Amino acid sequence: MPKWMRKTLIVLITVCTFGLVTPPEYLYIDEAEASNTNHKENYVQEASPDELAYYYNETPQEETETPKEFVANAMQSIEAQSVEKFGTKIGPKIDDQFRAQVLPQVEQTLTAFVEKYPYLNNLEISEHPAGGYGEKIFHVYDRETGQDLIRFHVRRDHPPKEGYWFNFHYHMADDQFQKHYDLAKIYWNNNEPPKWYS
């Protein structure tokens, strides 16, 4: 049946029945198949390999990150979050010591952990450090389960007659975050430090 005749029948059936009766499917089938074929051909010509895999119901290969790349990317995020946590009052006063003493220890700890962790692609770094008096700098967690694996924190210590110190440490999921693993301590002064984010 010619295309113009099919279209005419569709319009007549719709108008005569005030849209209460749907025209038979065979009037649409050839047109739908033709446009679907054209669309598929156009898509295949312009698509990237990942899009083609999706189009043909294949899952594209996940990009895998090496432990070294993960640690490098994580360290950039960690530095940014530390600057955010320390704020403008604490940050400038401890930044040099933090970079010299704490960050190398964090990198070493993270590298040792990542090299042993079997599901590297599941690892994520948390995005928001704790403010106020909270200890959290960042956590490493498994994206699939949502469970924390390592928690990197900073605590304010005030030993008698020694002033205030920032105690950088981490906790591991292996012991239910009970053990305290020291990274470094940075001296503040005799006055209580301001809240985080100040």
Distances (CA, A) of 44 to 51, 57, 86, 181: 9, 13, 51, 55
Higher-scoring residue by pLDDT: 127, 6:
127
Annotated domain spans of the chain: 3-55, 67-187
Instruction: Report d(CA 84, CA 142) in Å as an integer.
Output: 23
Higher-scoring residue by pLDDT: 122, 24:
122
Tell me the longest C-alpha to C-alpha distance in the chain: 98
Question: What digits encode the pLDDT tens for the residues 151-198?
Answer: 999 999 999 999 999 999 999 999 999 999 999 999 999 999 999 998
Based on its alpha-carbon atoms, the radius of gyration of the chain, rounded to whole angstroms, reads: 30
| Beta sheet of 165-172, edge-to-edge order | 123-125, 136-142, 148-157, 165-172, 181-187
pLDDT for the residue numbered 48: 53
Q: Please, is 106 exposed, middle or buried when counting C-beta atoms within 10 Å of its C-beta (0-12, 13-18, 19+)?
A: buried
Q: Where are the beta strands (DSSP E) in 101-143?
A: 123-125, 136-142
pLDDT for the residue numbered 63: 56
Residue 18: band (very low, low, confident or very high) from pLDDT cuts 50, 70, 90: low
Question: What digits encode the pLDDT tens for the residues 24-82?
Answer: 666 556 554 554 444 444 444 455 555 545 544 444 445 578 999 999 999 999 999 99
Which among 169, 103, 197, 152 is positioned nearest to 95, based on CA atoms? 103
Q: Tokens in use for 13?
A: 């059936």
